[in-house]
Amino acid sequence: MGIDLGTAYSSVAIFRNGKVEMIANEQDNRTTPSYVAFTDVERLIGNEAKSQAAMNSKNTIFDAKRLIGRKLDDPILKNDMKYWPFEIINHDGKLKIRVQHKNETKLFTAEEIS
């Protein structure tokens, strides 16, 4: 099995009968949006997370891989942050994404989200 955790989309494939076969998700798509969303009651991933992003933008995370290995003063990251509705902070020297989940403030690393 191979897993591609892409910046925009993720996918899963297996090697079967001498060929690589992409595995479809619950919506019968071969790729899944690399989105994670947090609500008052649940955590959503993929299509479900992306579909509610406009209504819950501060708690819907995408492009998380772009944070990996970066510092808050990185010029590329600073530019990207202009376009992200979610909050990125420096916590004990590490970048963290701050969200509200189940009525609590939670901090996640990009690696935890990706």
Closest CA to 70 of 82, 57, 79: 79
Give the pair of three-digit tokens for residue 31. 């790729």
Report whether 16 contacts 24 (CB < 8 A): no
| Tens of pLDDT, residues 66-76 | 999 999 999 99
- CB half-sphere exposure, 78, CA atoms < 13 A: 4
| Tens of pLDDT, residues 26-54 | 999 999 999 999 999 999 999 999 999 99
- Could you tell me how far CA 114 lies from the centroid of its own chain? 5
Q: Which domains does the chain have, with CATH numbers?
A: 2-113 (3.30.420.40)
- This prediction's pTM: 0.90
Closest CA to 46 of 80, 12, 13, 20: 12
